[in-house]
Amino acid sequence: MRIYEGTPRQNWEEVLRSVGAWADAERLKDLLMLELEGGFLVQGLQPVLSGAWSESSGSLATRVLELTDEQVAELVDAGNERRGSGAGKTPKAGPENYYEQALRIIGKYLDREKPRDLFFFEQGGSFVVRMLTGSAAGGVGHQLAEFTRDEILAMIDSAPTERH
């Protein structure tokens, strides 16, 4: 989310963690995320829920949603409140909170890189991130980063020791 209009996005770790928690709650899979001027476009596959058995039972439907900066701020506030209440001690990464943890790790990486124009997609727990970065020498260009599922899980496991 932007602190001031027109400034780069701030605190990717917290923003992506909050969007990841939302994706977990929505039971989304195979995420695709594109940074927009005022938020994000998020696409994922979501299980089709129906009251009774039908042809669509057990299938996935594509869900596309625009999350505005205001909605993302609400997700961040809700996550901070949940963790502040003691109910938010996030358990080890599993199917129920994988995106919250994985996107937090990617957000931490992005905070160091300070990118613009973020785009990433996930498949099978691995992520490819494309970002526009600039250098002190004035060069601007897109950069790719890849995080395998095993790398993400290892970074999630080591995160508690890095905090202390």
pTM of full prediction above 0.85: no
Query: Which long-range contacts does 29-36 make (Cβ < 8 Å, 24+ apart)?
Result: 29/60, 30/121, 30/122, 30/123, 30/124, 31/99, 31/120, 31/121, 31/122, 32/120, 32/121, 32/122, 33/118, 33/119, 33/120, 33/121, 34/118, 34/119, 35/9, 35/116, 35/117, 35/118, 35/119, 36/66
Mean pLDDT by 10 residues, the chain (164 residues): 54 93 94 94 89 66 94 91 64 74 94 89 94 78 94 88 60
| pLDDT score of 3 | 46
| pLDDT score of 16 | 94
| pLDDT score of 4 | 43
| pLDDT score of 159 | 76
| pLDDT score of 28 | 94
